[in-house]
């Protein structure tokens, strides 16, 4: 897989195909298989991939092409990762609240 080119607002499907050394048809296929991979389309219907879309595609590519996941397995792994990230963020928020509470308690007792 080639290095990511300089950061752009949008990438064409051809640029993404070249970046990951895959066919355009594979990109369109994965777009149908993974509902979260939704590049913008211009008035002519041409796909325009954002840097966020590139990262989403990079994750799918890594799971399927590099780590050997099936498409269903990749969907399950992505769901697991998203659940983990959500739970991690919730725990961090609870810890921030607790820190605020403890700081207030310390100020009251000082």
pLDDT (tens digit per residue) in 3-37: 555 688 999 999 999 999 999 999 999 999 999 99
Indicate the pTM of the whole model: 0.75
**Same domain, residue pair 6 and 17:** yes
**Same domain, residue pair 49 and 82:** no
**Same domain, residue pair 77 and 64:** no
Task: Identify the domain containing residue 29 by its residue range.
Answer: 1-68
What is residue 65's DSSP assignment? I
CA-based torsion, 107, 90, 63, 3: positive or negative: negative
**Same domain, residue pair 59 and 86:** no
Do the Cβ atoms of 49 and 39 come closer than 8 Å? yes
CA atoms of 60 and 28, how far apart (whole Å): 13
Residue 2: its pLDDT value, please?
A: 52
**Same domain, residue pair 41 and 74:** no
Residue 5: its pLDDT value, please?
A: 59
Residue 49: its pLDDT value, please?
A: 96
**Same domain, residue pair 78 and 107:** yes
**In this prediction, what percent of the chain has a pLDDT beyond 90?**
91
**Same domain, residue pair 77 and 32:** no
Residue 3: its pLDDT value, please?
A: 58
Confidence of residue 100 (pLDDT cuts 50, 70, 90): very high
């Amino acid at each position: 897989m080639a290095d990511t080119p300089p950061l752009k607002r949008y990438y064409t499907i051809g640029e993404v195909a070249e970046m990951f050394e895959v066919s355009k048809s594979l990109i369109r296929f994965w777009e149908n298989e993974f509902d979260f991979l939704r590049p913008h389309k211009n008035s002519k219907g041409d796909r325009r991939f954002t840097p966020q879309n590139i990262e989403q595609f990079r994750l799918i590519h890594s799971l399927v092409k590099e780590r050997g996941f099936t498409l269903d397995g990749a969907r399950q792994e992505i769901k697991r990762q998203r659940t983990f990230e959500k739970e991690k963020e919730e725990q961090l928020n609870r810890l921030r609240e607790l820190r605020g509470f403890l700081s207030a308690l310390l100020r009251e007792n000082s």
